[in-house]
Every structure is written in C-alpha cells, then in structure tokens.
Structure 1
Amino acid sequence: MKKITGISWKRLTALLLCVSMLLIMTLLSGCAQDQAQTSQGSDETTPTDSTTESVQTEPVVFVVRGVSDRENKTDNEAIYEMIKEQSGIDFEVRVIPQDSWAEQVNLMIVGGETWDVLNITEDAGNWSQYVQKNALQGWNDYLQYMPTFSSFLTDAAKLGMCDADGTMYALPRHELFYKQFVPAIRQDWLDAMGMECPTTMAELEAYFQGVIDENLNGSDNEIPMMTFMNMENKDFRPFYLGFYGDRYLTEDGTIMPWYMHENSYLLLSELNKWYTNGWLYSEYQTMAVQDGFDLISADRVGGWTGPYNAGVSPSGTILENNPDSSVAWVSLDNLTDFPAGGTGAWGSNPAYQPELVLNAASTNGEWAAKLIEWIVSDKDHWMLCTYGREGVEWEWTDETETEFRLLDGYSDRYLGLYMLTEWYDTELYARQYVDSDIWKDVQVDKLQSKINTLDVIESCDWFVPYDFTGTEAEFLAGDSDTIINEACAKVVTGEWGEEEWNNAVETAWNTEGSVYSSVWTEQYHAFIG
C-alpha cells in the first residue's frame, strides 16, 4: 500500500470517515436542540420574534374615506413629515371619496392594487364582506408589535372583531361619543310653554301639540318633529319593541326581523298619530338631509330623530339671524310609560366598532402595527396625529396638559387625516376644552352630558359577521325589505290599517323573512358558541 507522510490510504480513509460521522452527529444534535427551543419558546401564530431587527422596505399604505375635505388641509404635509420623522416609519395615506367608496374599494381589491390597511368605517365596520373575497388576513400575528394597543383589547373591545375561530380580522375604534340615537327637542320652547322635559310619551305628545298651538317662532309654521334618514321608526323601536336595530332575539333563541314583533303595528300607529296631527313633518319620506337642515336653520323645527346632534350646527343660523334668540336643545329623557315588551332605553352604537383591516397580500403588517403602536403609546404622538401641532392647531389650557383648546382656523389647517386609529380616551390622552363663548360647543357638550346619564341599548347581534354565501339566503333579492318599507310608509300616512300591515308582514315573512331568520339564527349561535 502506498503511504503519504507515513499514513496508509486505508488508515487515512478510516480517519476521514470517523471525523465525518462526528460532524454529522454534532450537527444533528444542534438542530434538534434548536428545534426543541423554538417549539417551547414561540407561539405558533407568531411569524417572527419581535426582538429581531427588521428593515422596512416599502411604505405602509393606509386607505381611508374622505370626510370634510380633510385631505386638502393646508398643514397636512408638514404634519405628515413630522409623523414620519418621529416614528421612523414610512407610510402613505390614500383617500377615497365617500360617494364612490364601494366602487373604488372593490376595484382596488379586484385589480390587485397595492394597499395594506383599509379603514372600514364607511362600510359600517363590515369586514365579513372582504373576508368572503379572500381579501384579508388576521391581525393576530402582529399584536406583538403593539403592546399598548393590545392592552386596550378587552373582551368587550374584541367583540365583533373576530370570527368564530378567533381570527381577529379588524382592529376596533373607540369613538369619542357613541351614544348616538337620542332624540332632541327645543329647550327654549319648553321654557316658553312652562314645561319640563318629557318623561313619558304622553308628555312628549303634549309638547308636540304645544308647538303647534303656541306660535313659538312668530311665523306660525312650526314643525314639532323632524326626522333624519327615516330614523323616527328605528329610534322609537326600543320604546315599543324593547330592542334597537333591525333584528331581535326571542326567548327561544331565534333571531327575527323587527317587523315580526307583536308591537310593530303599535309603533307605526303612534307615528301615524304624529303624522295625522301635524306633529311629524309631512314630507319626511321624500326630504333630503339638507332639507331638514334648512328647516332647522329657518327656526321651524321643535325636535328631531336621528343622530343626537344633527340639528345643532344649522341652529347657529338662527342666532346669526337673531342674536337675541334663546335657541337651545335638550336630549329626551328615558320615557317611562312604555308598553309591555318595550323599554325606556334609547338606541346606541356599540362602544367599540371594527375599523382597520389588513390586506391578505400585505407584507407590511409589522410596520402597520408599529405605526399604530407609536400613535397610541404616547400622548404627544396621539395629539399630533389627531389634532395637529401644539401651538399651531391647538394648545394646552394649563400646565397639567389634560385639557386642550383648538385654535382659530384649525379646521382649515388640519382635520385628523393621520389619525390612523380612532382611539379616543379622554383619561389616557386629553379632553377638549369647551369654550362657553362658542354656542355650538356648549350645546353639544350639554347633550352629551345628559345622554351619558341615560339608559341606552345596542343591537342584539351587531357583532355577528353574517355571511349568506352558500346559504339559502345567498340569492335573495331583499324583496321583503321593500315590502316592509312600503307598508311602513302607508301605515304612517294612514293609507293602511292593521289588517293591511299584517298581510304585508305575512308576505314578507313567507317570501324571504323566514329564510333570513333561519340563517341569522344558525350563524348567531355558531358564533357565540
């Protein structure tokens, strides 16, 4: 055998084999240890270790709705640059007009446009419609990057954000004021008639008649009750039906459409009384929202249903035309003379509503989460994004930095375009100063203060992401809603009575209502477990 430096080929081959085996055993042992440590030390929903350094390679794209022309304010660019510099995160905000929201968002999704986070407030928080299109991914994997925001996610805050399997498809918003649907009437007209704010339906009717009889505006053309968006029906459902919204839960666990309630005709007959006596504006079914504002501005309206503060801004015109006017509004109390099956509580939005959803194709979830965390984790960050720059758009009222006032002309400079998560918390951040010299602010503050003392209720199933895909209801055309809406109008105006109403209800139920009810009920119970 030939030797090399004194070692035979045979012995050399044996040594090499031994060394190779040792190396393989060492590598296998190390891999096994790493695998064991990984399986013990990480959650299966965590995509990466949050301590791992990562580098942003492209801006996070947030898509929001256009409101009050906020995308065209003069100081947007300066505030945008400050946020980018201070947060260290690159982002863009794309604004879609409200009047073309559905069309443009659909084209954005179908066309595969680049976006990361969509604000679904314009969709009333309906994230399920996008899940059905496979357009979303959950936020669960990214909560590790927003510990402050995650601390806000109580059980109540998460309700309505997740599917039945626990995938969090939406991050919630927390509105500054969510108890929206309490009717208001004229406080100054109550005072002029020597009345207290009504606490019963009978007293409310007496107020209506007084507005007709007393010529309180001097023109003898008063309208006791105005309605926005046909909310007269929905706002008074709790009083007669005991629930708020379009559906209710029966004692046996069935989700039913509102019109199947035994008191539905009683509600409509009350509204017919309003209409017949001239208490409800006669053209309420065809009026535009601006028509209502104009009538309030003309000092003709004694009350409204719809958003709690709907008539405050147009009432400013009354003061402009007559500085001596004592115009003022008051929210109705919880009425106490409700019938069996009813309640005195008023309707309300949920305290938390779905707001931000994440594109299924996005690779920017980490950076979106980090930007949201940056906003909510510090009062100064939150104020910058929500109200703009200190000393320019707003200022602190004192050294405690718990209350701020908006400066003159702020609404021309900035209106919260980069408030990318609407999380209002006056205790955690700051509350806005109410200037006693600004009539509108005083009025809204009074309405909110009173409403906060009242009983309110949410819809029983607002948090359930109903999905008709693949169900009996998938291809229903909504004819039952049309039948009921037309029937409501005819009952209120006196064209129909109880028999015709009952016939319409039966038709609506038999054509579609029973199918909807079956699907709602099944999905409701599947969701709540």
Structure 2
Amino acid sequence: MSKKIGLLLLTLCMLGSLLAACSSNNNEPKPSASTGSTNTGSDSDAGNGVKDYGKVYVYANYGHLGNVVDLSKKEALEEVRQYIKEKSGVEVIEIVPPKGSEADRLNLLLAGNEPLDIFTGSMDLHQANGAAYPLNELLEKYGSNVTGVWPDSWSEASWEALQKDGEQWATPVSPPMAGNAITIRKDWLEEVGLGVPTNLEELEAVMKAFKEKDPVGNGETIPMITSFNEMNAVLSGLFMENGYGNWIDEEGNVRPTVQHPGYLEFLTVMADWYKKGYIYRESFATDATKVIELVRSNRVGVAATWHSRTLANTTMIREIDPDAEYVTADIQGPKGYGRLVGTVGKSGTMISKNSQNPEGAMRYLDWLLSDVENYLTAFWGIPGKHWEWTDKEKGVYRRINQDYQGEFMTGFSFAMTVQFREEDPKSNDQWVRPFFAQYLTETEKVKYEGTFDVSYLFDKAKIGEQVPTLSDIERMIEQEVTKFVMGARPLSEYPNFLSQLENAGINKWIEVYTKEYNALKNQ
C-alpha cells in the first residue's frame, strides 16, 4: 500500500544534484561460480595506454532521451565516442529507443540476434524470462566502482531486490527514497510573521494564518494541498510507529494501516483541518497536473505532496512573484517524524544474456561510476567542449552547447546524481538539488512500513489469487477514508467501517500477508 516511486526515480537520476561525498560500501555481491565471459577487444591500446576492451552496445532506455527534440550532431557523436574509447578502452555503440515503442524495441533486441550489451530491465520481466546475464563474477573482477559508489548508509535492499539464487542480475539505480514532504512558502511565512513549523501545532498555526491573512488575496490562498496517497505518506506516520502501510501487531500478524489505533487519531486531525478549510477542498479529486497548475499560479502555501510539485516549479512561480520560495519542514507528531520511505525498486542496469562482450560492458559501467566527470561525459559530452565546471568543488557545471545529447549514457546511479547540479538561472536545480542531497535518502527522520524489509519480495500475483477481494478492499479503504476526512461520513462510524472491511475479506488479507511475510522473514 506504500506509494510507489517507479519511473520517477529514473527522472531524478537525470536531473543532477548538489555535491555530496560518497563512501565505499560493503554491498558488493558475493561471487558465485564462474559463468565465463567473452572479451571482443584486444591487447592493443585504445589510446593513452588504455587497453582496447572492444565494442559495447548500449540501449539508452532510461528515458533521458525522451524529451530530446534533436539527437546529437553526427560529428559530436563521433567525437564523444572516440573520447570515451581513449579514456575507457571501450567503443560505445548507441542504440536509440524509438519514442513510444521503447519496450517493443527492447523485446526485439533481446529475442533476436542483433547486438546488445547494456539495458535497463526489471527482475519480474527480464530476469524472470532469462534475458539477464549473471553479474557476480563481473562485479568482483571489473566492477569495484559500481559497488563502491553506493554509500554505506543506503539500504542494501536495493541490491538484494536485484538478486536471485545467490546471483546479482542488475545494479540498482536508486535507494528507497522519502520523496514526499511538507513544503511551505518561506516568503509567506515571513509575511505572516511565523517561522518554519516543527510540530503539528505550529503547522496548524501556519495554515490558519495563511487562510486568515490570505497572501494571494480575494480568498484565493490555498493553505494546504495534498492527495490521498501523499497525505498518508507524509502525515500519517506522525501518529504511528510505522509509516502508512502494513504493520505487525503483538501476535505477529500483518495488518493494514486502517486497523492501527493511531490511524483514527490521524484521521481525526485531518478531518478537523479539512472542516476548518485548511486542506484544499478538491485535494482528493485533484491529480498531479492540477496540483502543479495551482502551485504555478502562486496559490499554494503548504503542500503535503511529492517534493517536485513545488520545488521544481519555483522558477516559474517567480515569474509571478519574484520572492517566491518553498522550504521543507521537518514536522514531528505524537510518534515522531512521519515521512514515508518508498518501496524498493526491482529494476536496474542489466547486461544482456546474449552479450558478446560482458567484460567490456562491466568495464564501461565501472568507468562511468569511477568519477563524476566520466559520468557527465557520457551524459553531456566532452568536458571543456560540450560542458564545463563553473564550480568543480561544489559539483556545479553548465552546458556549453547541445551538440551531444547523451546517447552513450547508461548505468544511472543516484549515488552519482547527488554529486552534481547544473548552473542555469532558468533551471530549478537550485531548489530541487538541496532536497536531493538532504532529504531523498534520509534514514533518520522517516518512517518505514512494517514489512519494508521483505515486502519487495512479496508474490503479488499469488496474494491476489488467494485474496480475490483484494482490489475491492483497497478501493473501499481509499473511498471510506476520504469520506471520513471530508466529513461525508462521521468518525463515530469508524468501528462500522472496520466491520465492513471484515465482511469484504480483510481477515483473509491478514492471513495471506502474514503467511507471506513469515515465509520470507524466515528464509
């Protein structure tokens, strides 16, 4: 029931971030028996004393080319290709995904005899269907930077989710992230004479002031905007030991959030805020596009949403209000901080089972992740020609031109993303990157749902078969909880709601989830 991050994480890895030191880690998978590898290179130098490790075919399906109008100029593409070969010993051959048919093209590449070495794939689809190459030996021999770039403080679950039968089948893009947050208009706080709130009482005082003093005027100020999922992901954890999602009772049973005693307390506060007009009336019928529209129109004071709804739109808001600025608020409730860490991803960088040069592929990935300048070379081109540092110590760069667009980029890693940001007055980097560096990989001021340690291994298909009313239960929970918040159903009927869930099959849900959790926990 946790909010899934999915493709948003891939987008984050394309944006860039503030410089942050990355330590080596101990997440390197243990090697298994050798599976063998073929190096199509030679012992000759590729240039500058670097050995020739052959050609590596990269399918650039991370999404970073999706918004590019024009691909690289032919001359620039060849220049970057040769530059990378001289530095890494690998000649990278790009395979550009057709827009709108990226998955279809990948399926054809994996099923046919066309050359393919590196792509982004998923455990449930590509590994399960035998399309991925085992990585243990390659990582041990040639991938020290691939594993070493991952900080010790980040969850090992991101690596473990990409393992099966003792073998690593992909390298992760990102750790589990706490991307939902409370962001507040700093300039409006100054206008109403309040500081950044640190607890529920102070947060309510801010919303009250925004409503009464109406910084926008004509009653257009929205004290807080949110949605069902985001409200739960940001605020419900303030009232419970775990964030929104499964929790474990004293008997060891896995239960849904709505059965937690603290959840009713949470709903009571939300219903009160809604009744007072602090929560935007249309919050639970408003999609992300509408939220962004309201933010850009300079109307939203507090947002309990995915961080980019506000932070990534600051530059545009400043066209209306030059002083506009959102800040993140670390709120504590009766049970401490509340922001929920998202689920563990099961997609990552894979080497094709049919790769003709798996060693070269791993060496290329290792070169990319050995230094942020290598990473940016594949991303933006030759340093000094296509991009340049404006403050290398802080990881700030600017693009000189757009002759090269990133066809050779692969092996995305958020551990690299937090090490750089773009200098561009029209960019939202200056607002988004601090959040990247400080909040996305937060491990202390966050909450984890109760089965977080193994939930990414749950067999969703099997659970769905054993709980035939699963979708009905999930729909009922969202519908009825929304009614309680909006006042369409009195909170005095909450016990009746829990009884309705029993009639809908929640006890079977508990039984199946508990069995699945215990089986995985005891492995």
Shorter-chain TM range is: 0.7 to 0.9
Query: Secondary structure, in 3 states, of the residue corresponding to 1:321?
Result: coil
Match of 2:273 in 1: 274
* 5+ long unaligned stretches in structure 2: 1-30, 43-51
**1:224 and 1:301 in contact (8 A); partners too:** yes
Q: After the TM superposition, which residues 84-99 of structure 1 pair with which residues of structure 2 at under 5 Å, given as runs?
A: 85-86=85-86, 87=88, 88-95=90-97
Listed one character per residue, the Cα deviations across residues 283-315 of structure 1 (whole Å, up to 9, x for unaligned) are 122223222122112211101122223213433
| Distance in 2 between residues matched to 1:139 and 1:449, nearest whole Å | 29
Q: Are residues 93 and 526 of structure 1, via their aligned partners in 2, closer, same or farther at CA, if it must alter by over 3 Å?
A: farther
RMSD: 4.0
Name which of 440, 465, 487 aligns with 1:494: 487
Query: Secondary structure, in 3 states, of the residue corresponding to 2:173?
Result: strand
Name which of 348, 367, 384 aligns with 2:341: 348
Query: Secondary structure, in 3 states, of the residue corresponding to 1:305?
Result: strand
**1:73 and 1:413 in contact (8 A); partners too:** no
C-alpha deviation, 1:467, in angstroms: 1.5
Tell me the TM-score normalized by structure 1.
0.74
Query: Secondary structure, in 3 states, of the residue corresponding to 1:190?
Result: helix
**1:181 and 1:307 in contact (8 A); partners too:** yes
* 5+ long unaligned stretches in structure 1: 1-42, 121-125
C-alpha deviation, 1:350, in angstroms: 7.2
Q: Are residues 264 and 130 of structure 1, via their aligned partners in 2, closer, same or farther at CA, if it must alter by over 3 Å?
A: farther
C-alpha deviation, 1:395, in angstroms: 1.4
Q: Are residues 82 and 219 of structure 1, via their aligned partners in 2, closer, same or farther at CA, if it must alter by over 3 Å?
A: same
User: Which amino acid in the other structure matches residue 223 of structure 1?
Assistant: I
Matched, 1:444 2:432: yes
Listed one character per residue, the Cα deviations across residues 128-187 of structure 1 (whole Å, up to 9, x for unaligned) are 355554554532243233232233466944543344642223311247x94422210111
Matched, 1:384 2:383: no
**1:358 and 1:365 in contact (8 A); partners too:** yes
C-alpha deviation, 1:271, in angstroms: 2.1
Q: Are residues 362 and 434 of structure 1, via their aligned partners in 2, closer, same or farther at CA, if it must alter by over 3 Å?
A: closer
C-alpha deviation, 1:221, in angstroms: 0.9
Query: Secondary structure, in 3 states, of the residue corresponding to 2:376?
Result: helix
Q: Are residues 315 and 473 of structure 1, via their aligned partners in 2, closer, same or farther at CA, if it must alter by over 3 Å?
A: same
Listed one character per residue, the Cα deviations across residues 479-513 of structure 1 (whole Å, up to 9, x for unaligned) are 21111111122112211133544444444455454
| Distance in 1 between residues matched to 2:376 and 2:390, nearest whole Å | 14
Q: Provide the aligned length of Structure 1 versus Structure 2.
A: 468
Q: After the TM superposition, which residues 111-510 of structure 1 pair with which residues of structure 2 at under 5 Å, given as runs?
A: 116-120=117-121, 127-143=123-139, 144-152=141-149, 156-157=155-156, 159-163=159-163, 165-174=165-174, 178-227=177-226, 230-322=229-321, 325-335=322-332, 337-338=333-334, 342-349=335-342, 354-360=347-353, 362=355, 364-397=357-390, 401-407=392-398, 416=406, 418-425=408-415, 430-432=419-421, 440-445=428-433, 447=435, 451=439, 455-459=445-449, 460-461=451-452, 464-469=456-461, 473=465, 476=468, 478-498=471-491, 500-509=493-502
User: Which amino acid in the other structure matches residue 97 of structure 2?
Assistant: V
Question: Which is worse superposed, 143-152 or 182-191?
Answer: 143-152
| Distance in 2 between residues matched to 1:288 and 1:490, nearest whole Å | 18
| Distance in 2 between residues matched to 1:453 and 1:186, nearest whole Å | 25
Q: Are residues 89 and 69 of structure 1, via their aligned partners in 2, closer, same or farther at CA, if it must alter by over 3 Å?
A: same
C-alpha deviation, 1:385, in angstroms: 1.7
**2:339 and 2:445 in contact (8 A); partners too:** yes
C-alpha deviation, 1:355, in angstroms: 1.9
**1:128 and 1:466 in contact (8 A); partners too:** no
Q: Are residues 274 and 497 of structure 1, via their aligned partners in 2, closer, same or farther at CA, if it must alter by over 3 Å?
A: same
Query: Secondary structure, in 3 states, of the residue corresponding to 1:281?
Result: coil
User: Which amino acid in the other structure matches residue 45 of structure 1?
Assistant: A
Matched, 1:82 2:80: yes
Calculate percent identity across the aligned residue pairs: 19
Question: Which is worse superposed, 389-398 or 282-291?
Answer: 389-398
C-alpha deviation, 1:418, in angstroms: 3.6
**1:480 and 1:512 in contact (8 A); partners too:** yes
User: Which amino acid in the other structure matches residue 150 of structure 1?
Assistant: T
C-alpha deviation, 1:329, in angstroms: 1.3
Tell me the TM-score normalized by structure 2.
0.75
Query: Highest CA radius of gyration, 1 or 2?
Result: 1
C-alpha deviation, 1:61, in angstroms: 4.3
Query: Secondary structure, in 3 states, of the residue corresponding to 1:310?
Result: helix
Query: Secondary structure, in 3 states, of the residue corresponding to 1:75?
Result: coil
**1:223 and 1:281 in contact (8 A); partners too:** yes
